[in-house]
Structure 1
Amino acid sequence: MATIPSNDDSSASESVSLSMPRRLRSPLAKATTSVTVNSSHIQQNIPNHSGTSGGSESVPIVQDDLPQWSQNFRVEALPNFVKKIGPAAVSTEMSYPSPHKIFCEFFTDEMVKHITFHTNLYATQKGKPFIPTTEDEIRVFLGINLFMSVKKLPSYRDYWSSSPDLNEAYICDLMTVKRFSFLLSHIHSNDNSMMPKRGQANFDKLFKIRSLVEMLNKRFAQCYQPHQKVAINESMVKFKGRSSMKQYMRDKPVKRGYKIWMLCDDLAYNLKFQVYTGRLATEKSELGLGAQVVSDLCEEHYGKNHIVFMDNFFTSYNLFVLLKAQKTSAVGTVNPARKLLPKLKEDKKMKRGDFDSKVSNHGVAFYKWMDKRAVNLIPTMHDPSDTTSVNRKENDGSTTVVACPRVLSDYNRSMNFVDNFDRLKRRLWL
């Protein structure tokens, strides 16, 4: 909600319509937004999920007009977060917990059964005689692969080598190399005969593992209640082979591989992930790829007063208005050249520690803070009057205290949740 004081002392009130930003024309923007004007203030009311809004009689907003920006508007105060956080009861009530039991909470018997069925189905479709696999054998196969990720050899066949410096007796006692090779080439989690052809509307590059990805995401959500602050960023899975989905990211520790969009919470827990397969024409594509990713990852957490942190790849004014309408706050760095953002003080007129800001009539703020260079952010939960200070080193090695908006301090503390997940992943060799 954004409010602006008025100098009009008249007791009469009148209704006017302010505006949602241009281009809010996707199915995500169906929630109506309304504004009322009284003699003492101008107030915007953003409704709840049911589309209702409290207060006095209101007029629907015209969606084709541009947002209004002013230094007199104020950002709505952040609601209290009273949700339960941490592991769900299914994990905390576990008797005699062990690493194996915790793993099985995420990789369930249902998933193992699913893989067993489709592996046998694929072997049957090939039309060659084979010995059907079982759920227990699939568990052994998965365990061997986890073991191989810890003790790495040049080739998987080396674990069954006759050379004593390569041979791993533990694995040899569990499965023969011939059987492991068969499972490695036949393991499946979907029916190939149902796979859409390239060029069809429902073609999916991840069709062969899509069902397994969905089951994992569902289980991640069931086993943990996230903290109020969550972050969205990309992670990389190393891969040097040939694939149309392989990406290159020069700023990541893993430069080449599969890009994974991730939603992580305060303790680096993975709440949901998506494998990036390339740009696809979807019903939400007009919002942009970044906004579509944020919407898909956060939709289960709408209406719970979460705070989502993201970088400038995802950030846009339209997206933040949509998240605010879903009772989800957001903070992100932003390219000042993005559409619908106002002009702020020029960089050359600012010195270190200076900042300028404006707030829109939809309760979205836009900040520019000058460090060695300008930093631009847009939040929906920080008011420009909320400031703090940070320590900065000078060229001579001394430390000075520099004033800055509190939104920047919160962003720096919270944006690294996905990076923390990557560090834990590397530490565990997974």
Structure 2
Amino acid sequence: MGHDQRDTLKDYWSRDEQYYTPFYNNTMVRNCFFHILRFLHFENNEAPPNRDDPEYDRLWKIRQIFNSLNSKFCELYHPSEHLAVDEVIVLFKGRVVFQQYIPKKHKRFGIKIYKLCDSLGYTYDMTVYLGKQRQLATEEITPTHGIVLQLIRRVEGSGHKLYMDSYISSPALYDDLLERKIYTCGTVSNDRHGMPQEIRPKLMKLKKGDIVTRVKGNLSVVLWKDKRDVYVLTNMHPPPLDGNFQDESGCAIKPHVIEDYNAHMGFVDKSERMVNSYGMARRTWKWTKKLFFHLLDMTILSAYLLHKSCDGKMTHKKFHEILVRDLILQSHEANITVRGISRGRPSSSGAQLS
């Protein structure tokens, strides 16, 4: 269904000439598919946890599957040196208490997931944002500080290089990550706690191509003027020289730290594009089903990237097609085996012989 997008699920089993595809009828009866989909659950709804419990988990309906897949993603793969942390949105416009609205995203409404991805687009770790944290953020610690520390817990001490955007970056977070032997680079808001006051835009008038650098210990703040002011925080690059740098045509020359950030920050977006390439999610589904099928697409992508990391030559599309055929073949073989098992009471003649 991910390769064959149709308006409704019933269209896949339609006998109309413009829709008819024998594959779906030969694989599963329509009513059987809808029956399974209707009763697809992942926890016992008759014994829900207490909402007033301080340890109440808003993701409890799908937590077991989420944690199981997340652990497997980490267990089966060793990420590359460069990693990126960013947020993605699983489109969902229904009712759920931790639904997010992000105007700048293509999918503005939905469930927010923070992901840690490497250069292949492999999701090494992830966590669902479930609303405001119980502990209040201070001026020094941003709300995303703890989320990033949670995502990197399995790679700390390995010397990885991590990239993040201005929504996540802060000097306190970079210092924390450096103590865990993770080097960091990313854009940053100029009003974050710990940022130098003297390079704020109200105090400086910069021309196109200007570079201003401030250094404190291992941490460097770089202000670069292009069409707008760009602030970059890094502890993995040597601080660039101050001055005005333009090419012969008058265009601002990017410092190396900006080029490096642009080259590596898109790992999470790359992963999300590949996950959504062959998705089959529907708008009318409940959030649990929506999230489950997104995790299923993510699992298939992870399997493909594992195949690719072992010098596999298949394309993403071909991998999907072969996987579907093999799963259907295994299912049919299992059904034949089950049908071959005799059921009911043994015959009286057989009992006498024994």
What is the TM-score of this pair, normalised by structure 1?
A: 0.58
Aligned-pair distance for 1:425? Answer: 2.9
Query: 1:360: which partner in 2?
Result: 216
Query: 1:207: which partner in 2?
Result: 60
Report 1:142-153 matches (<5 A). 148-153=1-6
> Among residues 179, 189, 195, which one is paired with 2:48 in the alignment?
195
**Partner letter of residue 209 of structure 2?**
G
Aligned-pair distance for 1:165? Answer: 3.6
Higher relative strand content: 1
Query: 1:250: which partner in 2?
Result: 103
Query: 2:206: which partner in 1?
Result: 350
Query: 1:233: which partner in 2?
Result: 86
Query: 1:278: which partner in 2?
Result: 131
Native 8 Å contact 2:213 2:220 kept in 1? yes
- 1:217 matched to 2:52: no
Native 8 Å contact 2:171 2:193 kept in 1? yes
**Partner letter of residue 304 of structure 1?**
S
Native 8 Å contact 2:209 2:245 kept in 1? no
How far apart, CA to CA, are the structure 2 residues paired with 1:365 and 1:406? 13
**Partner letter of residue 196 of structure 1?**
P
**Partner letter of residue 216 of structure 2?**
S
Q: Pick closer, same or farther for the CA change 1:389–1:295 going to 2, 3 Å.
A: farther
**Partner letter of residue 213 of structure 2?**
S
Native 8 Å contact 1:389 1:404 kept in 2? no
Aligned-pair distance for 1:340? Answer: 1.7
> Among residues 261, 284, 293, which one is paired with 2:147 in the alignment?
293
Structure 2 stretches lacking a partner, 5+ long: 280-296, 298-354
Count of residue pairs brought into register by the alignment: 276
Q: Which range is displaced more, 408-417 or 245-254?
A: 245-254
How far apart, CA to CA, are the structure 2 residues paired with 1:346 and 1:203? 42
Instruction: Please give the per-residue CA displacement for 1:271-302, whole angstroms capped at 9, x wherever unaligned.
Output: 122222211315x8553321122111111110
Native 8 Å contact 2:211 2:243 kept in 1? no
How far apart, CA to CA, are the structure 2 residues paired with 1:157 and 1:389? 62
Aligned-pair distance for 1:427? Answer: 3.4
What is the TM-score of this pair, normalised by structure 2?
A: 0.70
Q: Pick closer, same or farther for the CA change 1:177–1:337 going to 2, 3 Å.
A: same
Q: Pick closer, same or farther for the CA change 1:390–1:420 going to 2, 3 Å.
A: farther
Query: 2:304: which partner in 1?
Result: none
- 1:261 matched to 2:109: no
Query: 2:26: which partner in 1?
Result: 173
Aligned-pair distance for 1:309? Answer: 0.6
Q: Pick closer, same or farther for the CA change 1:386–1:357 going to 2, 3 Å.
A: closer
How far apart, CA to CA, are the structure 2 residues paired with 1:176 and 1:389? 69
Identity %: 29
Native 8 Å contact 1:196 1:202 kept in 2? no
Q: Pick closer, same or farther for the CA change 1:188–1:323 going to 2, 3 Å.
A: same
How far apart, CA to CA, are the structure 1 residues paired with 2:35 and 2:142? 43
**Partner letter of residue 203 of structure 1?**
Y
Aligned-pair distance for 1:212? Answer: 0.8
CA RMSD between the two structures = 2.7
Q: Pick closer, same or farther for the CA change 1:355–1:267 going to 2, 3 Å.
A: same
